[in-house]
Amino acid sequence: MMQKEEKIVVVLLVVAVLSLIIAYFGFAPQTNAYSSDSKIDERVYAEGTILSKQMTGKGDNLILSLSNLNVKVFIAKNNGAKEVYDSMRTGDSVRITGKVSIYRDERELVVESPKDN
């Protein structure tokens, strides 16, 4: 049988663990789906089917067009452009995370990390 002090310690440990779980799920950053209301520099995700993929002529960067998305997806050379180009085909369904940006007065979704592909 546990002593009174041991019971208090167990209760405090349970409360601490529950607090950590609530903090993790309550304060974890949420990524929203891209929409025309998405703000510049907002981290979002986009899902769709690859309609086209094109490597840029000079920089070995990748530009994707996805179905149901009115912006291009830009993947820089150092963020896995070549790997994505080689591994994904037109018609593949994808979910890509990146930041909303402006390039030549048009919105685009910029992938910032190879793990976001």
Q: Tens digit of pLDDT for each residue in 73-93?
A: 999 998 888 888 888 899 999
Q: Could you count the other beta carbons within 10 Å of the beta carbon of residue 85?
A: 17
More confident residue, 101 or 113: 101
**pLDDT at site 62:** 94
The 10s digit of each residue's pLDDT in 30-67 is 788 898 889 999 999 999 999 999 999 887 899 999 99
- HEC assignment per residue over the chain: CCCHHHHHHHHHHHHHHHHHHHHHHHHCCCCEECCCCCCCCCEEEEEEEEEEEEECCCCCCEEEEECCCCCEEEECHHHCHHHHHHHCCCCCEEEEEEEEEEECCEEEEEECCHHHC
Q: In this predicted model, what pLDDT tens digit does every residue of 3-38 receive, in sequence order?
A: 888 889 888 999 999 888 887 777 766 788 898 889
Report pLDDT for 113: 73
Burial of 45 (0-12, 13-18, 19+ CB in 10 A): middle
pLDDT for 16: 92
